[in-house]
Chains A and B, each alone.
Chain A
Amino acid sequence: MRLPLPDPDRPPPGPFRHSFWRSPLRGPWLTSLLGFALLIAIPLIAITGFLSNDAYNPRLGGNSVGRMLGPLDFYLFQWPTHPSWLYAFTQGVHVTIGLAATPILLAKLWSVIPRLFEWPPLRSPAHALERLSLAFLVGGALFEFATGILDIQYAYLFKFFFTNAHYYGAWVFSAAFVFHAAIKFATMRSALSVRRGLEPLRDNLAHTRPEPQQTPASDLIALTPAAPSMSRRALLGTVGAGSLFLFVQGLGDSLGGPLRVLSLLGPRDRFGSGANGFNVNRTAAAAQITAQEVGPGWRLELSSQGRSMSISRAQLLAMPQHTYDLPIACVEGWSSTQRWSGVRVRDLSRLMGHEGGMIATATSLERNGVFSAATLAENEVDDERTLLALRVNGAELSLDHGFPARVIGPALPGVHCTKWVSKVKFSEAPA
C-alpha cells in the first residue's frame, strides 16, 4: 500500500493553488515596501521596549515584578537621570510607533497571506526552519501588538501577567524578526530596486497593473489577476492615513499639555482640576488609602542599616525645599510634566548619615498594589532633582496624587514615583 503523500506538483484545491489568489496589487514590490517600513519601526519599538526594562532597574529590590530573572533578563547599563524626559521619550516612542506600525503590520500580513498556503509545504530543511521561524515571527508580532494595545486600554482580557508575557514575547518576536530580516534583506532590496523605489505609486487606477513576473516566478504575483479596484497608492495611502492617525493618538498622549486634545481615542485624559489636574495611574480609592493614615498622625519612617528615624510632615516642610519641572512618564505611553516641590531624597539619605552611593526603597501605604514599593538606584538617589514631593504647581498634593508625600525624579518610570510614601529604606547597592 502506498502512503497518500502529498504530490509536490499537484496542490490541493483552494488557497493552496496559485490561481486562488487574484489581487493584482500583491507582489514582491508591495511586500518589500511594507517590509522596509517595518524594518525601521520594529527595531525602534523593540529597542525602546528593552530600554524600558532597563529603566525599571530590575536588579534592585522587588523591581523585576513578576519575573524570575533568567538568562534573557540582562541589565545593560545604569539608567541615566539626564535628560529628565528620557523615559517619557523612550516610552512615548515605544507606544506611539507601536500604534502607528499596527496598520503596516496588518497590510504586510495581507500581502503575504498566499505564503501561508504555499505548496509543497516543505521543500528542504532550510525551508522547514524558515517556516517554523515564521510561526514565531507572525505569532510573536500579533501577540506583542495585541497585548500591548490591550494593556494601554486596561482591557485585561487575558489571564496572564502582562509584564512577564510581553517581555518574553518580545524575545520570541525579536529573535524571529532578526532571522527573517537577515534572510529576506537581499530580496527586499532587489524588489525595491527593480521597480525603482516608489515609482509604482505614480500609477492611478487606470494604470494599475500586476507587478511584472520575475524569474523564478513569485507566488505573490497573481496568475489570473482580477481587475484592480484600487490603485497601489490608494492602498498605501489608506495604510498611511491609518498609521498617521494612530501616531497622533500616541503623540498627544505622550507629549501631553495642549497637544493632549489631539489624542481623541488615546486612553488617557486629565483627571481632577486646578494645580492637581493631571493624569493619575492609581486613585487613592483604588489604593484604599484612609483619611486616618494620611492625617496628622502620618510619619515618614526612614531606616538604614538597623537605624531608624521618624519624621512628621511639618518637619519635612521645615527642611530645605526644592522645585523642579519633571514629567510623570507612564509605561503605557502617556506623560505629564508638572512643577514639583519637596525635599531632596539625597538630603534624607544625608540625614541618615550617608554621603551618597546608596539605593533607596520607598514603600507606599497602598494596598494590593503591584508597585506598592519601588527601589531607586544610586544615581537616582544622588540626583538633586529626585524629590520626596510635598507640593505640586504651588498647591498641596491632592490625595489622588500621593498626599502626604510622593517620590518624583528625573527619567523615572511612572510607577517608580511611589505615592503615599510611608517608609524610605536606604541600603548598600548590590555588587
Chain B
Amino acid sequence: MRRASAKFRGIYGASPLHALLGTSSLAIVAIAVRGWFDEPTVSLKYILFWFVGAILAHDMLLLPLYSAVDRLATIRATRPAPPGEPPPRRSPGWVFVRVPLLLSGLLLLVFGPEILQLGNSDSTFHVASGQHQHVYMARYLMIVAVLFALAALLYTLRALRGRRA
C-alpha cells in the first residue's frame, strides 16, 4: 500500500489526496461553468470575456502599472546594497506620498464607477433610487485632500522631531 502510494507520488508529484481534491474541485468548476450556459440571454461569451479579462486587467495592466509608478518615484533614492551589507537607509519621505496615493487609488478603483459615473450608471442609479451620483466626485476629492493633508502633517511633525533630536 505504501509502495503504491510512493509510486503514485513519483508519477503525479503529490499525494493521492491532492489528486482527489484537485479533480473534485475542477469538477465543481466545470458544473458551475455549465450553469453560465443556462443564461437565458446567451451572454456566455461576455462572461468568459470578463473572467479572462479580469485576470489580464489585473496581472498584466493594473499591477505592472502601479509597480512602475512606484519604481519611477523611488528609482533615484534607491541604490543597490553592496554585497554582505545591509541595504542603505533612505529618507522615508516617499512613504508620506505613497500611502495616501495608494489609498486614493484604492478608493478610485472600488468606487470609480459611481465617482466617474461610468457606463450610464447615473441614469440607472437615478431610475432605481431617485438619487444622483454627482455628489460622489466631490466627496472623493475631499477624502483625497484629507488623506494628503494628514500625511503632510505627519511628515512635518516627524521632520520637526528629527531636527530637535
Contact = CB atoms under 8 A, between A and B. Distances in A.
Nearest to B121: A155
Contact of B99 (A174, A238, A268): A238
Contact of A172 (B33, B114, B115): B33
B130 interface: yes
Given A165-B36, A283-B129, 17 more contacts: A70-B34, A72-B28, A125-B13, A126-B14, A139-B55, A140-B51, A149-B113, A153-B113, A157-B118, A160-B41, A169-B32, A234-B95, A234-B99, A238-B102, A264-B142, A280-B130, A283-B127
**Which of B11, B35, B36, B59 has the largest count of A CB atoms less than 10 A from its CB?**
B35
A206 interface: yes
Interface string B82-110: 00001111101011001100110011001
A227 B51 contact: no
Nearest to B13: A124
Interface stretch (A75-83, A130-138, A306-314, A355-363): A130-138
A2 interface: no
A230 B98 contact: yes
29 contacts: A68-B35, A99-B110, A116-B59, A132-B26, A140-B51, A143-B50, A154-B125, A154-B129, A157-B118, A159-B43, A160-B39, A160-B46, A165-B36, A171-B35, A175-B28, A178-B21, A179-B21, A227-B81, A228-B87, A229-B74, A234-B99, A238-B102, A242-B107, A265-B107, A265-B114, A267-B114, A271-B130, A281-B129, A283-B129
Main secondary structure of the interface of B (DSSP, over half): helix
Contacts of A142: 54-55, 57-58
Nearest to A246: B110
Contact of B32 (A109, A146, A175): A175
Contacts of A116: 59
A168 B48 CA distance: 12
Nearest to A110: B63
A72 B31 contact: yes
Contacts of A269: 131, 135
Main secondary structure of the interface of A (DSSP, over half): helix
A132 B55 CA distance: 13
B26 A165 contact: no
Nearest to B132: A269
Contacts of A290: none
A377 B148 CA distance: 52
A160 B43 contact: yes
A292 B78 CA distance: 73
B140 interface: yes
A24 to B, nearest CB: 7
B91 to A, nearest CB: 10
Interface in B62-86: 63, 74, 77-81, 86
A226 B78 CA distance: 7
B12 A126 contact: yes
A205 B74 CA distance: 15
B137 to A, nearest CB: 10
Contacts of A171: 28-29, 31-32, 35
A176 B24 CA distance: 10
B25 A175 contact: yes
Given A159-B43, A229-B74, A242-B102, A124 B12 contact: yes
A71 to B, nearest CB: 6
A67 B33 contact: no
Interface of A: 24, 66-68, 70-73, 99, 102-103, 106, 109-110, 113, 116, 123-127, 129-130, 132-133, 135-136, 138-140, 142-143, 146-147, 149-150, 153-161, 164-165, 167-169, 171-172, 174-176, 178-179, 182-183, 205-206, 209, 224-230, 234, 237-238, 241-242, 245-246, 264-265, 267-269, 271-272, 279-283, 285-286, 400
A283 B128 contact: yes
Nearest to B55: A139
Contacts of A130: 22
B5 interface: no
B35 A160 contact: no
A241 B129 contact: no
B29 A136 contact: yes
B119 A155 contact: yes
A126 B13 contact: yes
Contacts of B95: 205, 229-230, 234
A400 B21 CA distance: 51
A160 B19 contact: no
B103 A242 contact: yes
B40 interface: yes
A171 B29 CA distance: 7
B90 A227 contact: yes
